[in-house]
Amino acid sequence: MKSLSPHKSKRTGKGQTLLHLIFILMVLMYLLPFLLVISVSFSSEEALHTGGFTLLPKEFSLDAYRLAVRNPQQLLQSYRVTISFTVIGTVLAVLIMGMMAYPLSRPNYKFRKPVTFLVFFTMLFGGGLVPSYLLNVRYLHLDNKLWIYILPSLVSAWNIIIIRTNYAQLPKELIESAKIDGANELYICFRIIMPLSKPVLATIGFFFFVNKWNDWMTAVIYINKPNLYSLQYLLQRILREAEFLKQMAEENQVVEQGAVYPTESFRFAMALLAAGPVLVIFPFFQKYFSKGMTIGAVKG
Amino acid sequence: MGFRQQKGIDQKTHRVFGSGRTAKGNSYHRRTFQENFEMSLLVLPGLAFFIIFHYLPMFGIVIAFKDFNPNLGIFGSSWAGLKNFEFYFTSQDAVRTIRNTVLYSLTFLGLDVITGVTLAIMFYYLQSRRALKFYNTVIILPRFMSMVVIAFIVYALLSPTYGAVNTIMKSFGAKGIQWYSKPEYWPFILILTHVWQTVGMNSIVYYAALMGMDGNLLEAADLDGATKWQKAWYVLIPHLISVIVILTILGLGHLFSGDFGLFYQVTKDTGVLYPTTDIINTYTFRAMQTGALEKSAAVGLFQSLTGLILVLLTNGIVRKISPENSLF
């Protein structure tokens, strides 16, 4: 990408230094809280009780993590559940939305206007929480099922419009020459258009993936069976409910006499175990980012 | 006629198909039909999802006008006219939740633009691309954390007993503050948390727009001897106006709605804090939890309707002023 940054000889190093200073300050405001969480998770519980949460653990300890992995049943189950609905959901979403966006980008599609309107209108108006809840529970019986995490949120107008815009910007000759060679619309969509749109589809897929991974609300509303808890919902209960925290820590655990139980440190160890993976995945998608974001930034 | 059909020349465009394609779709209308059919196949799955999960629930809106009895279902319950709406709008809750929701929405809208644009311009002036990538990656990170994790971070800072903030205060001899019991601090806390989480993503949107800008304007400004402040104000920001307007229109459409996660998770849903943290979304959620489905639906409908009206309104206004910036 051609850099349009004003590279004038007049630009003083002073300006750049100031910018860097401000940015470094900002970066600290972002890194320090994470450091705090990490530090607390690696701290002994006694040190926390006496000295509070500090940036560096006063007394290093792996007790919290030991506890977390000692009885990882619930954690592993929530991981299983979360990975399932995240992966399935993302694949299905990119597929179905990627498919749907193609005809909407073709001027010669007969139903382009009505379908586009139907899609777009959902951005302006919706039934709301209660009607959806009634539909999902009373009629579709999706409560306490894995599919509740996937189906209701599978399609989104916003994403389709972004993908459609991207498709429309591909050269028309591609499609025309494919038609001459006898390709049908399905072939064009799956073998030509979608492969060429990998950056946008990957970006959309990435955002979708992250949102799914971070889903706690679905479980709050629709799930009460622990074996279907999403990771974030599990975390929520750990943060909010001291009783739940105790229960999780105590299952099959022999309590030593007089030992101080890892509670706060355990909380944060769990938080890292649940949130960590996203941080790792993120760098891989960085390269698709700038391209995809530019496309998305243009008016849909 | 026979020879034409054999060779399969398209009547309209006179393109010649290879052999083996004569029978199928060699007339313009059949090809168009086939094309449309195939494209409709592609559209169908997505459309089905939209209809089932976005349009079907709209029928359930009638519950807002009914006295919902779970045993009788939506259609068996009796009508209650506007009673559910009255119930909400004449309550103290309405005053509090609407006030909170609107104030937060407006504040967020304004701050999102100001911080996003400022940061984008700063990124733009940064010369080192490597540094830019690094800074941007770090700042955007919270956007990919769930609200629960963010709530954890806030808790790590504000926990009354061990939280970092109180720990630091105590080390200076001051007494710690019972953060989760004092509603007056929370507008500040929530606004800060929101900006902290979203500024990274917001700035990227504006930055991308800046990258698409024609470099000539800036060069002309340089030739005229403009300072970087002047360049920012007279060249960069005007270029961003259309993006800002679009985002503002969309944002205003959500004026009566709030980020449920922020207000529910970060506050740990602490009742004491409701005076400054309860918004319409959290209110309707609690109403649903306690079984008052029809009341929750009524307020939800109020939100959806106002959202629709607001977007149409603001879009209409923008269209009058500068049509190219309107959403539709």
Mean pLDDT comparison of A69-78, A193-202, B231-240, highest-scoring range: A193-202
Residue B106 has pLDDT above 90, yes or no: yes
CB atoms B296 and A129 under 8 Å = yes
B261 vs chain A: nearest CA distance in angstroms?
A: 8
Residues A36 and A119 placed together within one structural domain of the fold: no
Mean local confidence (pLDDT), B246-263: 87
Alpha carbon distance A211, A82 (integer Å): 11
Alpha carbon distance A43, A70 (integer Å): 17
CB atoms A96 and B45 under 8 Å = yes
Q: Mutate which of A82, A129, A138 to disrupt the B interface (most B C-beta within 10 Å)? A: A129
In chain B the domains, ranked by start, together with CATH numbers, are: 2-79 (no CATH), 83-325 (1.10.3720.10)
Taking CA atoms, B221 is separated from A6, A70, B126, B226, B322, in Å, by 10, 65, 18, 6, 25
Mean local confidence (pLDDT), A206-231: 93
Residue B10 has pLDDT above 60, yes or no: no
CB atoms A6 and B61 under 8 Å = no
Amino acid identity at B184? E
Mean local confidence (pLDDT), A119-139: 92
Mean local confidence (pLDDT), A125-142: 92
Residues A218 and A87 placed together within one structural domain of the fold: yes
Of residues B63, B78, B109, the one with CA closest to residue B299: B63
At A251, the pLDDT band (50, 70, 90 cuts) reads low
Mean pLDDT comparison of A12-16, A273-277, B89-93, highest-scoring range: B89-93
Residue in B closest to A35 by C-alpha: B153
B21-62: per-residue pLDDT in tens?
Answer: 444 545 788 888 888 999 999 999 999 999 999 999 999 999
Residue A61 belongs to a domain: yes
Instruction: Name B220's Cβ contacts closer than 8 Å, sequence gap at least 6.
Output: none
Q: Give the closest of B35, B137, B148 to A286, CB-based.
A: B137
Q: What pTM was estimated for this model as a whole? A: 0.85
Domain final residue, candidates A188, A222, A256 = A222
Residue A153 belongs to a domain: yes
Number of domains in chain A: 2
Residue A292 belongs to a domain: no
From the number of C-beta atoms within 10 Å of its C-beta (0-12, 13-18, 19+), residue A299 rates as middle
Alpha carbon distance B160, B156 (integer Å): 10
Residue B89 has pLDDT above 80, yes or no: yes
Residue B118 has pLDDT above 80, yes or no: yes
Residues A251 and A114 placed together within one structural domain of the fold: no
Alpha carbon distance A270, A79 (integer Å): 12
Alpha carbon distance A272, B74 (integer Å): 43
Domain final residue, candidates A222, A239, A265 = A222
> Where does chain B have alpha helices with state H?
2-7, 28-50, 56-59, 73-76, 83-89, 92-125, 129-140, 147-158, 164-171, 186-211, 215-223, 228-231, 237-253, 260-261, 274-277, 280-289, 293-321
From the number of C-beta atoms within 10 Å of its C-beta (0-12, 13-18, 19+), residue B51 rates as exposed
Lowest mean pLDDT among A260-264, A268-272, A286-290, B23-27: B23-27
- What is the dihedral sign for C-alpha A285, A286, A291, A294? positive
Alpha carbon distance B152, B142 (integer Å): 12
First and final C-alpha spacing in chain B = 48
Q: Bigger pLDDT: B13 or B6?
A: B13
Is B229 within 8 Å of A286 (Cβ atoms)? Answer: no
A221 token code pair: 């509303």
Residue A45 belongs to a domain: yes
What is chain A's Cα-based Rg? Answer: 25
At A256, the pLDDT band (50, 70, 90 cuts) reads low
Q: Bigger pLDDT: A250 or B259?
A: B259
Lowest mean pLDDT among A11-15, B17-21, B311-315: B17-21
Alpha carbon distance A84, A212 (integer Å): 10
Residue A209 belongs to a domain: yes
At A260, the pLDDT band (50, 70, 90 cuts) reads low
Interface of B with A in 249-288 (CB under 8 A): 253, 260-261, 265, 268-269, 284-285, 288
Taking CA atoms, B4 is separated from A103, A176, A183, B9, B197, in Å, by 30, 22, 21, 6, 65
Half-sphere exposure of A295 (CA within 13 A, CB side): 25
Question: pLDDT exceeding 70 applies to what percent of chain B?
Answer: 90
Residues A108 and A180 placed together within one structural domain of the fold: yes
SS3 at position A275: helix
Q: What is the CATH number of the domain that holds A193?
A: 1.10.3720.10
Residues A54 and A100 placed together within one structural domain of the fold: no
Residue A57 belongs to a domain: yes
Residues A197 and A242 placed together within one structural domain of the fold: no
pLDDT value of residue B4: 45
Residues A64 and A131 placed together within one structural domain of the fold: no
A36-56: per-residue pLDDT in tens?
Answer: 999 999 988 888 888 888 888
Residues A163 and A88 placed together within one structural domain of the fold: yes
Residue A116 belongs to a domain: yes
pLDDT value of residue A114: 95
pLDDT value of residue A289: 59
Mean pLDDT of all residues in chain B? 86
Residue A280 belongs to a domain: no
Residues A212 and A111 placed together within one structural domain of the fold: yes
Question: pLDDT exceeding 90 applies to what percent of chain A?
Answer: 54
Tell me which chain B residues have a C-beta less than 8 angstroms from the C-beta of A44.
none
pLDDT value of residue A8: 47
What is chain B's Cα-based Rg? Answer: 28
At A77, the pLDDT band (50, 70, 90 cuts) reads very high
Residue A149 has pLDDT above 90, yes or no: yes
At B180, the pLDDT band (50, 70, 90 cuts) reads very high
pLDDT value of residue B15: 55
Residues A89 and A105 placed together within one structural domain of the fold: yes
Q: Give the closest of B243, B269, B300 to A130, CB-based.
A: B300
Residue in B closest to A286 by C-alpha: B137
Residues A81 and A66 placed together within one structural domain of the fold: no
Tell me which chain B residues have a C-beta less than 8 angstroms from the C-beta of A108.
32, 35
Taking CA atoms, A4 is separated from A8, A149, B120, in Å, by 11, 43, 13
Residues A107 and A206 placed together within one structural domain of the fold: yes
Domain that holds residue A168: 73-222
- ipTM of the shown complex: 0.86
pLDDT value of residue B80: 85
At B222, the pLDDT band (50, 70, 90 cuts) reads confident
Cβ neighbour number for residue B22 with a 10 Å cutoff: 15
At B109, the pLDDT band (50, 70, 90 cuts) reads very high
Alpha carbon distance B295, B299 (integer Å): 6
Mean local confidence (pLDDT), B193-207: 94
SS3 at position A166: helix
